[in-house]
Amino acid sequence: LVAGLSLPLAVAALQASGLTVAPPDWNAAVTATLMLTAIGAVVAFYAWSLDAVMREAEGSRVALADANDQLSYALREAQSANHVKTQIVATVSHELRTPLTAILGHTDMLRAGLYGSLNDEQQHAVERAYTNSERLLRLINDLLDFSQLDGSKLSIRPEEMPLYSTVQDVAAMVQPAVAAKGLTLNLSFDQALPSMMVADPLRLRQVLLKLLENAVSYTESGSITLLVRRQALGDPQQQRDAVVFQVRDTGAGIPPRELALVFEPFRHSSTNPPATGGSGLGLTIVQQLVQAMGGTIEVTSFMGYGSTFTVTLPLEEGGD
Ligand code: ADP
C-alpha cells in the first residue's frame, strides 16, 4: 500500500513543483500504481491472515501445554492414590495375617483335642471356626499378592530346586480334597526332565497349587491330571527347552467366550460359580506370577468335558 501510494504522491509532487509529466507516462504511472496497490493489498491480506493463524496456533500451543500440565498432575495424583491404596491393602493384610495365624493355630489344637476332648456340638463348632479362618487367611493372602502385583513389587527368587519332589508335594497337598470329593488324582512326570531346575520354588508351588485347587473345586466327578513334561523348542536360536505343567480336569468346562475372562480380577465363569472362599483373584495372580517367571499360561476347555490349564516355563537345568 505504501509503495502503491508513493507513486501518485511523487507525481503530484512533481506537478506541484512545476514539472509536467507526458500523458503516456502518466497512464503508465496510474497502471503501475494500481498494480502495486493490488499487490500490496494481497501481501497485506496474507500477512494479516498469517498473523491470525500464528496467534491462533500460539493460543492452541498454550492450551495444549496447560492440558498437558493438568494431565501430568492428574496422573501424579492417580499414581500417588494408587500407591496409597496398595500400601493400605498390604499393611492391613499383614496386620490381619498375624492374629489370624494365631487363631488358626489355637483352633487347630482345639479340634485335635489338645485342650481336652470335645462333645460333637463343640467339635462341629470348632471345625467351622477352623474352615472359615482358613478361608479368611486364603483371601488375605490373595489380597496381599494382588496388592503386590498392582505395585509391581512381585518378587521372584530363583534357586536350584528339585523338580519331581516339588510337584509331588503339591499333589499331596490337594490329595485330601480330591479324595473327599471322590475324584482321582493322576501325576505324570516326564523322565526326560532333569532332577534339579532353577526356579522360585515357593512361586512355582503357589501356581501349581492354585491350578490344582481350582480343578478340584470345579470338578464334580472324574479325575484331575497333573502332567509335567519337557518340551524341546523347535527354534535352534532358542538355547533352552521348556518345562510344561498341565492341569487337566473333567469338570463342567468354561464357555469359549469366557476363557480369557477367567484371568481378569474378580471374574468368574458363568457355568462355574466361585468356589467357597474364591476371591476371583487366584488366576490373575497365577498369570502374573507365571509371566514374572518368564513363562506363559493358556487355558483350553470343552463344555461338559473339562478344562486344561497349561503353564510353560523356560527350563534352566540345575546341577544334579
Ligand atoms: P476363584 O478364587 O473364584 O476360584 P480364580 O481366579 O481362581 O477365582 O478363577 C476365576 C474363575 O474361573 C472361577 O470363579 C471359575 O468360574 C473359573 N475357573 C477357574 N478354574 C476353573 C476350572 N478348572 N474349571 C472351570 N472353571 C474354572
Work out which ligand 1 atom sits closest to the CA atom of 263: 6
Ligand 1 contact, 295 CB (< 6 A): no
Among 70-84, 101-115, 253-267, the range scoring the smallest mean pLDDT is 70-84
Work out which ligand 1 atom sits closest to the CA atom of 210: 7
How does DSSP assign 109-148, residue by residue? HHHTTTT----HHHHHHHHHHHHHHHHHHHHHHHHHHHHH
What pTM, to 2 d.p., does this model score?
A: 0.70
Measure the CA–CA gap between 295 and 313, rounded to whole angstroms. Answer: 4
Ligand 1 contact, 224 CB (< 6 A): no
3 state SS of 38: helix
Instruction: Report pLDDT digits (tens) over 57-99.
Output: 999 999 999 999 999 999 998 888 878 877 787 788 788 888 8
Distance of alpha carbon 6 from the chain centroid: 73
CA of 268 to the centre of ligand 1 (A): 6
